[in-house]
Structure 1
Amino acid sequence: MVPFNYLLLASFLALLSQGVGDTAQRDTLYKKIYRTINLRDYCVRLTNATHAIGCGTSESGTTGTIHFVNDDDDDDVQYVSSSGKHPPYAVVIQLNAFNSGLIRRFVNSSARIAGVLINGTLQQPSEGNQSPALECPNQQFGLYSDTKCSPVWNEHASGLSYESFPFPIYILNAEDMEDIYDCYKKFNVPVKDDTITYPLCKVNMQSFMYAAGDTTTCMRRSNGLFGAVFCDPLENPQVWGSLFPLVQQEGDSSVSREIVFLAAKMDTSAFFHQMAYGAENDATGIVVLFAALEAIGEQKRKNRLKQEAMKPIVFTFFNGEEWDYIGSSRMVYDMVKGKFPDIENGPADFNLMDIKYFLELRQLGLSSGGMFYGHQPNDTRSPQDTSNTLFNTLQENAVKSDWVLEEVKETSSSQLPPASLQSFLKASTNIAGLVLTDHHEQFANKFYGSIFDSEYYVYPNCTNLPLTRNLTNVASAVARTALRLAGVDDGIIENVTAKEDTIKQLLCCFLHNSNCTYFQDLLATDDQRDKLTTNVPLVRYVSVDGSTPFVESIIKLLAVRFSGRLASGYEHTKCPSDGTDLRKWYTMQNADNHSRIQCHEAYVYEYTVKSPAFVDGNYDKEKNQYSTWAESVWDTPTVVMYVVSDDQLEDVTLGVGCMVLVVWFALVFFVTRRIEKVFIEQ
């Protein structure tokens, strides 16, 4: 006879296996109890050489009672901060209420705040919204690390993006916000005496960040014995190229090639990185450079430009510039080391001595009355004659293109604006540089580094005729200036004009709908086109190695289309290879016939940039020479909503359950000890 306790064990295991195996029932039960909230984005942890910024939770997460807070209602804030009877609270706010004043009030009551949930429906910003960036972006890593910022470029700054928070902050989709509000309205709305009774609607939030302390500590832990990675340096490709191939000079290679260098920055920032759209900062600069490249490239495609008859024109879209000039400082670092470009048998090495003119396009979308400003270094940083030539040439072409250029010269009380040019001027005094902007002393952009720096701010509904006309005129002048400085004949230059339709299309694709026809035409396969998202802008946060934001691919292919030409013999077919190290071939969709593809050739390259600090392993806190920003590794964050009963009822339920368990085990023990008397064998 089989012992009774074995029968009990077998029955228990059978029941257990049935419960474990029935996934559908288990999932159904889970969904009846819990509601998983979809996250649009969330605040993450970053570190540099001195400290950490951002958000996170403990490894076990945090739980809070849901409460909606109206920014205009001080009673709501007081309720979660002091008077509410069921802390900690998961505070829910509207997007337009997301500002430093409100968030810092929550920080001051952090013991009662479990987390912040934000309604993520992007809309026209209100006057209460701010720039979460710093007053003087990148100040410690440019030309003025040892001096006070003058002027204060970002007068609307709150610095919120560079603070550390003791609770998580999430931004949600509108559909999930409706479910949260329904649960709150049903269970959590306080009555007149500010009390609520059980059951309560709560959320559990988990977004544990592995990085802690600073980058030095985090990288040391990541390089430990067990191979675990706690943080990654900010790095990703940036795009550069030239109109014609850069070939080595005959004879003395030390002679300068007098390169005309055009630059813009491809990345931007925001408190929520996956909502970093940067309409004014600096999508406007990007599209102007592309429109200028298209106008210049058109002359090349018509065989009006001859390489041997002009100086080289080089263009670069820097990446990581928002995070202490990662892209530009790495390029300068490699030039100084004689390692740029690091392509075997590729373009001839060129260095800082080869750059004669440096024209950088920054924020250009908020010009007042067609007025733009050319910021130039003083004569101790840059050769006076060539600097004057650069400014005068651009000013002359500005007049012809119907806009006004005002000179802003660096003085002891007026510094250069945040720009990649500063990285180059730190290492060389032989470059004539100019930073073109729409502002004189303070940013015209009230939402620099904010999620509100979006299409709604600059280009709503893909319509803003004064904006596109202004940017087209600027692009025309930039193209003509580059060709004039490169030594091209005036007879050719007078025919160079940027296309307003290109400006319109690019702004709409970058800021409104990345799944636009203009971008689709760049991509040869459906797999590539599937990466574009309808009615969503391109995210331009630099991120870390391996994430490969799709914006780099789009920037590269746009540069190919505008500066290159159809490959001879492959106008209606895919490229036979990737080309050579010097000349690259790129297969794209035929813009005129989407059922066919074509091959383009161009001198356009990707260049993965990581701060020199991670190359040298130099995290010196005092020098502030190179960026040390790293991003934490994290597990996938989750927010789960559920309803809980009274704590006392839960205690009673647990007590009764324990009593039943004890009684059950006592009964089993009693029966087992007397099994032969209870069950008489026949």
Structure 2
Amino acid sequence: NFFFPFPEIVCDPLLDYNIWSSLKPINASGKVDPEERLILAVTRVDSHSFFWNVAPGAEAAVGSFVSLLAAAQALQVAPGAQGLPKNVLFIFFQGETFDYIGSSRLVFDMEQEKFPLRLENIGAFLELGQVSLRNNSVLWMHTDPISRRNESVDSQVQHLLAVLRASSSSGISLQEPEHSQPLPPSSFQRFLRSRNIPGVVLSDHQVEFQNRYYQSIYDTAENIGMSYPEGLSPEERLEFVTDTAKALTEVGTLLARALFTLAGGTGSTESIQADNKTVTRLLYGFLLNSNNSWFQSVIKPDQKGILGPFPQHYVAVSSPTNTTQLLQAVLANLTGSRLNLSREQCQDPGKTPGMQPELFEYRWVQGARAGNSSARLPGCVRSGARLSPALSPAFELRRWDSREFSTWTESRWKDIRARIFLVASRELELLTLSLGVLVLLLSLLCTFLINAKASLLFGIPAPPSPSGY
């Protein structure tokens, strides 16, 4: 613009990163074979409320992604998991609150071949919706009635439902709503817009949400029934297994067993079990206080600033957010392995033969404290936990009027400043007024006297008197 060569920016797009990891390593810079079929297990990470940056999201998001983290850990250590015929991909979507930013971008990247997978590589899709407020231990298996009109897709969905029923334990009752009922709000919908995929969305509601505080500041730990005995220290609360943790452990176990079978596993899955200690630590860390001993041990030394009380899960405009960084660190800890490498080797694995940096991420973490000492035992963790962009394709395509992709932004605002003045006492006000009047009177008196004696004071000659003739 000629008149405004440097226009002022008034808003920024909402953006962050999706977190993904696979059971067996995937070349992040390559492409999966077109004939290969993977099982996707996904959920959302972010939440929202009426108040800026106050988004606890206990039922809306945290319960779900904690269950998926527990399932990823359980499947990773399951006997024979690395030899399964099919791979499993775990994805944690960011920005789903705002018209599915994360899933929209991932589908776009798959279509544009900017991601290792294509849509054709998806063999089955399992999504965890809101699962923390189960009524009578019931989980509902939602499917898409439109895509199931295709006989091939319907038969695969029926197989998915059968596997889930066979994987359930006595603590979970699986039910299916009417076949004509549409899907609840879910990331799966964004994939179905591009391709018919067999999939199931697990949730704790049949029709209406169980969550009375959806997208509210009150969707806190108390909303999902987390409670602790009185008198526990922060470390004791971190380790105390609540009833909520036990319930979500059952969800993680169900998902891990189902994924094992869907990936081609045979035989009994009774030995596959999510860890309730892990679940209770995750709930405490992501809902109450992320600045705890376990989270401190899994982050990098330069990430200390992301820890703190009352974690929030708003997607924001600066990335990666604290939640994203923490979740990647925790996922790497739960699914990765610790290697005997120096800090230099860990931070630059390409220089060490056999490290395969195209298949793995390497993280130098702080480690746990050495006994009662303040010193830590740092180390190198190798995992497949990676990030992919969660920015709406509309901004990359510069299509601000897009009806296909969301264009959510956050306004910029300048710092609000104010000057505060103290109100004087009544006595001081009267004193100030009196002194002002006195100074005024003295000024008038001095001006009159100086004017009257000007000729004497300044040597000004007196005006001549009139002459007489």
Quick one: which of 129, 134, 141 aligns to 1:374? 141
Distance across 2 between alignment mates of 1:439 and 1:296: 26
Distance across 1 between alignment mates of 2:66 and 2:32: 38
What does residue 606 of structure 1 align with?
387
Is the Cα–Cα contact under 8 Å of residues 49 and 217 in structure 2 kept in the other structure?
yes
Distance across 2 between alignment mates of 1:665 and 1:260: 95
Within the alignment, does 1:538 sit opposite 2:311 as a pair? yes
Is the Cα–Cα contact under 8 Å of residues 611 and 628 in structure 1 kept in the other structure?
yes
Within the alignment, does 1:435 sit opposite 2:197 as a pair? no
Quick one: which of 449, 453, 456 aligns to 2:215? 449
**Once the 2 structures are TM-superposed, how far is the Cα of residue 601 of structure 1 from its aligned partner?**
0.9
Distance across 2 between alignment mates of 1:500 and 1:252: 34
* Counterpart secondary structure, 2:312: coil
**Once the 2 structures are TM-superposed, how far is the Cα of residue 447 of structure 1 from its aligned partner?**
0.4
**Once the 2 structures are TM-superposed, how far is the Cα of residue 626 of structure 1 from its aligned partner?**
1.2
Q: Output aligned runs, 1:245-324, within 5 Å.
A: 245-246=25-26, 253-255=33-35, 257-299=36-78, 304-307=80-83, 309-324=84-99
Label 1:645 to 1:537 Cα distance change in 2 as closer, same or farther (>3 A).
Answer: same
Say which structure, 1 or 2, has more relative contact order (CA 8 Å, 6+ apart): 2
**Once the 2 structures are TM-superposed, how far is the Cα of residue 466 of structure 1 from its aligned partner?**
3.3
* TM-score normalised over the length of structure 2: 0.81
Aligned residues: 425
Amino acid aligned to 2:132: G
Label 1:572 to 1:225 Cα distance change in 2 as closer, same or farther (>3 A).
Answer: closer
Distance across 2 between alignment mates of 1:663 and 1:234: 67
What does residue 356 of structure 1 align with?
123
Question: In percent, how many aligned pairs have the same letter?
Answer: 29
Distance across 2 between alignment mates of 1:518 and 1:676: 92
Quick one: which of 160, 174, 180 aligns to 1:405? 174
**Once the 2 structures are TM-superposed, how far is the Cα of residue 495 of structure 1 from its aligned partner?**
1.6
Quick one: which of 107, 111, 135 aligns to 1:332? 107
Distance across 1 between alignment mates of 2:405 and 2:437: 61
What does residue 279 of structure 2 align with?
503
Is the Cα–Cα contact under 8 Å of residues 329 and 611 in structure 1 kept in the other structure?
yes
**Once the 2 structures are TM-superposed, how far is the Cα of residue 530 of structure 1 from its aligned partner?**
4.3
Label 1:297 to 1:464 Cα distance change in 2 as closer, same or farther (>3 A).
Answer: closer
**Once the 2 structures are TM-superposed, how far is the Cα of residue 518 of structure 1 from its aligned partner?**
1.8
* TM-score normalised over the length of structure 1: 0.57
Structure 1: where are the runs of 5+ without partners? 1-219, 341-348
* Counterpart secondary structure, 1:273: coil
* Counterpart secondary structure, 2:346: coil
Point out the structure with max Rg over C-alpha.
Answer: 2
Is the Cα–Cα contact under 8 Å of residues 410 and 416 in structure 1 kept in the other structure?
no
Deviations 1:324-383 (A, max 9, x none): 11100011111112222xxxxxxxx21111111111112111111211111111153571
What does residue 231 of structure 2 align with?
none
Within the alignment, does 1:523 sit opposite 2:299 as a pair? yes
**Once the 2 structures are TM-superposed, how far is the Cα of residue 678 of structure 1 from its aligned partner?**
5.3
What does residue 513 of structure 1 align with?
289
**Once the 2 structures are TM-superposed, how far is the Cα of residue 427 of structure 1 from its aligned partner?**
0.7
What does residue 481 of structure 1 align with?
258
Amino acid aligned to 2:333: R
**Once the 2 structures are TM-superposed, how far is the Cα of residue 573 of structure 1 from its aligned partner?**
9.2
What does residue 581 of structure 1 align with?
358
Label 1:678 to 1:521 Cα distance change in 2 as closer, same or farther (>3 A).
Answer: farther
What does residue 140 of structure 1 align with?
none
Is the Cα–Cα contact under 8 Å of residues 27 and 358 in structure 2 kept in the other structure?
no
Q: Output aligned runs, 1:567-646, within 5 Å.
A: 567=339, 569-570=340-341, 575-577=346-348, 580-591=357-368, 593=370, 595-620=376-401, 624-637=403-416
Deviations 1:153-202 (A, max 9, x none): xxxxxxxxxxxxxxxxxxxxxxxxxxxxxxxxxxxxxxxxxxxxxxxxxx
Within the alignment, does 1:555 sit opposite 2:306 as a pair? no
Deviations 1:249-297 (A, max 9, x none): x999432x21110111111101123221111111000110011011112
Distance across 1 between alignment mates of 2:383 and 2:53: 31
What does residue 231 of structure 1 align with?
11
Amino acid aligned to 1:604: A
Structure 2: where are the runs of 5+ without partners? 229-236, 351-356, 460-469
Distance across 2 between alignment mates of 1:484 and 1:276: 36
**Once the 2 structures are TM-superposed, how far is the Cα of residue 560 of structure 1 from its aligned partner?**
0.8
